[in-house]
Amino acid sequence: MNPVASLQDALVRWGRSSLASVLAWWQVLHLGAEIIVLALMPSSYRHAAVRRDVLEHIYRATAPLMTWFLVLSALASLVLIRIVVATAMSYGLSQYALEVLVRTLVLELIPLYAALFVAVRFSMPAAQQVRRQLAEWRSADGVPGHQELLRGVLLPRALGSVFSVLLLAALSCLIALVLTYFNVYGFSPWGLPGYTRSVGAVFSPAVSLIFVLKTLFFSLAVAFVPMASSAQPDADGAYARRSDMSEFARLLSVILLLEVVSLMGNYY
Amino acid sequence: MSPTTPPLDTPPEPVRNLEFKAALLLMLLVLLVAGSALYVMYARGVFENTQRLVLVSDDSEGVVVGMDMTFAGFSIGRVSRIELAEDGNVRILVDVPVKDAKWLRSSSVFTMEKALVGGTKIRAYSGMLSDPPLEDGAEREVLRGDAAAEIPRLMSAVRDLLDNLTALTGEDAPLAQTLANVQDVTGRLKGPQGGLGVLMGNEADARQVMVTLERANALLARVDALAARVDSLVANADKQVFGQGAPEGQGALVPDLRAAVQQVTGLLGEARGTLRQVDALLVEAQGIAANTRTATTDLDVLRAQVETSLRKVDSLVNDINRRWPFARETEIELK
């Protein structure tokens, strides 16, 4: 085999795959931007059916997940709080336990696992459902137009995912803060001023902004990445079933990238 | 997209009161977000009335915006800004809530401590709470205490100490040689010559010292005998001089001397009486001399009278000679 020809083939394959990857990411970004534009336009909610669809997906994305997520989140938070408080006390550094807990739990961990939980439990199954439906439509009477697809199918699910991530993260943060207080101060109200002051010291304007932006982008990533991938036809125009794992890996890479950026913003 | 979008494959069961439940969730999210924002703003003291305190220091290392200033362990202020002044000093602007400003007085002292573990702490101390309260915008010097800054100096001192110790404990160090010598000396002390061998250095000298010692011992024995003889001599002297232990009737020197002295004292008393008599004689002699002096005076008067009488006689003879012309010589000799 001619080594030059094989190298050329390899380079061509690598170039094509890179181009496809860049195109796929571009389509994700483009679709996300389109959904955001549609979500911000009041005309998108003019029809009662669309409004009902959006509300339904908001409810279905949040309510069934809430109980178990909050229970698991509270348990995980409790374990972490106990570990951090006990370790800090054993080293005589209990005054730093609160800051460590608020920073690790509220700022970093809870948004991350809220996003992953919603992705696994709602966003990715919904994306698979959309892709299956698109395949059915393609074999039957044809795929609806782009805007119809965006507004009628993708927008409600994306909004449901965004809302679910935001609400679950907010509730979980609240529970984590309450559990932290009870773990550190016990059932006494007299630690509240000091606790409030410590929390306030952590949430400087920059940290608060990064936290809000990070959670928002997590929710957008969870909403758009699986959905955009599922709405994207294959090379032959069909909507073949794709592996959940590859979709999840793609979503995870986006979330980790956002996490790294937020960490750099917070600590560098 | 129109409401005519075909339904998905298996439509889920319709949700009862969907709009109400969804509205509840939306409201919950809005409440949570708004409540969190308000709580964080409250926690950061946005709603508090504050007064400004400016702490001036030459170094702001470890001071961050948002850190607390404590009084007696309670947080009473928060660093809101740190700026570098024109003179190179650091101005730490602290916002003190008005309700807590009563703890700060015009005589308050502010310190900035940097511990080995943990961040920098700004503390306020008010010794006299009866002093006038600290005015808004007051500027105060902050006293700095840095435990970590002591470490380099300490490390340098410890390093010097270790160098010295290393030099002291080295194989070729004087201390090691001294110890080796001490070991040699103690070995020789345990030997047959003992300390004398150590002092003399060789066996011959040590033996000579031993011989010297023996001769000294012999000399001391003779000195003892001599002392015994001196003792007996002293006893004899006592006997002879003071009469101690002497048989009755045998005279001693001191009693005899004492008797002689008594006799001399008697003689002196007698001599004193004789002298008194001589004094009386002298007094009488003085009276005689006085009388003699008086008689001598009288003799002068007598002599003058005699001279006067002689001149009268002379003049009388002259008269007679004139009246009586048988006088061959006119000159009269006074013999």
pLDDT of residue A260: 94
Gap between the Cα atoms of B238 and A267, Å rounded: 112
Q: What is the pLDDT of residues A253-265, one digit of tens each?
A: 999 999 999 999 9
Q: Which of A35, A197, A198 to mutate to test the interface with B (most CBs of B within 10 A)?
A: A197
Q: What is the residue range of A41's domain? A: 3-267
Q: What is the pLDDT of residues A137-175, one digit of tens each?
A: 888 877 777 788 888 889 999 999 999 999 999 999 999
Confidence of residue A50 (pLDDT cuts 50, 70, 90): confident
Q: What is the pLDDT of residues A180-214, one digit of tens each?
A: 999 988 898 988 988 998 898 889 888 999 999 99
Q: Which residues pair with B83 in a beta bridge?
A: B91
More confident residue, B73 or A69: A69
pLDDT of residue B115: 74
Mean pLDDT over residues B79-97, rounded? 90
The DSSP-derived string for B131-178 is: SPBPPTTEEEEEEEEEHHHHHHHHHHHHHHHHHHHHHHHSTTSHHHHH
Gap between the Cα atoms of B335 and B333, Å rounded: 6
Lowest mean pLDDT among A212-226, B69-83, B137-151: B137-151
Chain B residue closest in CA terms to A54: B22
Mean pLDDT over residues B215-230, rounded? 94
The pair of three-digit structure tokens given for residue B76, joined into one six-digit string: 């009473």
pLDDT at residue A219 is higher than 90: yes
Mean pLDDT over residues B63-79, rounded? 87
Confidence of residue B233 (pLDDT cuts 50, 70, 90): very high
Minimal Cβ distance to B5: which of A129, A148, A163: A148
Long-range contacts of the stretch B256-261 (C-beta < 8 A, 24+): none
pLDDT of residue B246: 65
Output the CA torsion A45→A170→B37→B43 (10° steps).
Answer: 180
The SS3 of residue B71 is: strand
Kindly report the pTM of this predicted structure: 0.64
pLDDT at residue B88 is higher than 60: yes
Lowest mean pLDDT among A73-82, A192-201, A230-239, B129-138: A230-239
| Chain-chain contact of A199 with B67 (C-beta, under 8 angstroms) | no
The pair of three-digit structure tokens given for residue A243, joined into one six-digit string: 């592996």
Q: Which of A203, A219, A239 to mutate to test the interface with B (most CBs of B within 10 A)?
A: A203
| Chain-chain contact of B40 with A200 (C-beta, under 8 angstroms) | yes
Buried b (16+ CB within 10 A) or exposed e, A210-220: bbeebbbbbbb
Confidence of residue B4 (pLDDT cuts 50, 70, 90): very low
- Crossing angle, helix A155-185 and helix B18-43, to 10 degrees? 50
Residues of A in contact with B42 (CB under 8 A): 196, 200
Confidence of residue B238 (pLDDT cuts 50, 70, 90): confident
Element (H, E) at B120: strand B120-125
pLDDT at residue B62 is higher than 90: no
CB of A219 closer than 8 Å to CB of A157: no
pLDDT at residue A60 is higher than 50: yes
Backbone angles phi, psi at A243, to 5 degrees: -70, 135
pLDDT of residue B190: 86
The pair of three-digit structure tokens given for residue A253, joined into one six-digit string: 């890479």
pLDDT at residue B5 is higher than 60: no
Mean pLDDT over residues B68-88, rounded? 89
pLDDT of residue A143: 72
| Chain-chain contact of B40 with A199 (C-beta, under 8 angstroms) | yes
| Chain-chain contact of A203 with B44 (C-beta, under 8 angstroms) | yes
In sequence order, which residues have a C-beta less than 8 Å from that of residue A156 and are 6 or more positions away? A50, A53, A54, A56, A57, A58
Confidence of residue B10 (pLDDT cuts 50, 70, 90): low
ipTM score: 0.88
Q: Which of B1, B17, B31, B47 to mutate to test the interface with A (most CBs of A within 10 A)?
A: B1
Backbone angles phi, psi at B146, to 5 degrees: -125, 105
pLDDT at residue B280 is higher than 90: yes
Residues of B in contact with A197 (CB under 8 A): 43, 68, 75
Please choose, from the candidates B23, B118, B107, the residue with its C-alpha nearest in 3D space to the C-alpha of residue B67: B118
Residues of B in contact with A201 (CB under 8 A): 43-44, 66-68, 78
Mean pLDDT over residues B261-272, rounded? 93
pLDDT at residue B319 is higher than 60: yes
Q: Which of A146, A167, A180, A215 to mutate to test the interface with B (most CBs of B within 10 A)?
A: A167
Minimal Cβ distance to B1: which of A56, A58, A152: A152
pLDDT of residue B333: 67
The SS3 of residue B52 is: strand
Residues of A in contact with B21 (CB under 8 A): 59, 63
Please choose, from the candidates A62, A54, A33, the residue with its C-alpha nearest in 3D space to the C-alpha of residue A166: A62
- For residue B317, which amino acid is it? V
How many residue contacts between A and B have a Cβ separation below 8 Å? Answer: 106
Q: How far is CA A7 from the centre of its chain?
A: 40
Please count the structural domains in chain A: 1
Mean pLDDT over residues B177-198, rounded? 84
More confident residue, B319 or A78: A78
Residues of B in contact with A50 (CB under 8 A): 1, 3
Gap between the Cα atoms of B114 and B223, Å rounded: 82
In sequence order, which residues have a C-beta less than 8 Å from that of residue B167 and are 6 or more positions away? B173
Q: What is the pLDDT of residues B121-179, one digit of tens each?
A: 899 998 888 888 888 888 988 888 766 677 788 889 999 999 999 888 888 888 888 88
Q: How many CB atoms lie within 10 A of CB B22?
A: 24
pLDDT at residue B66 is higher than 70: yes
Nearest chain B CA: its distance from A186 CA (Å): 20
| Chain-chain contact of B25 with A58 (C-beta, under 8 angstroms) | yes
pLDDT over 90 for what percent of chain B? Answer: 31
pLDDT of residue B1: 39
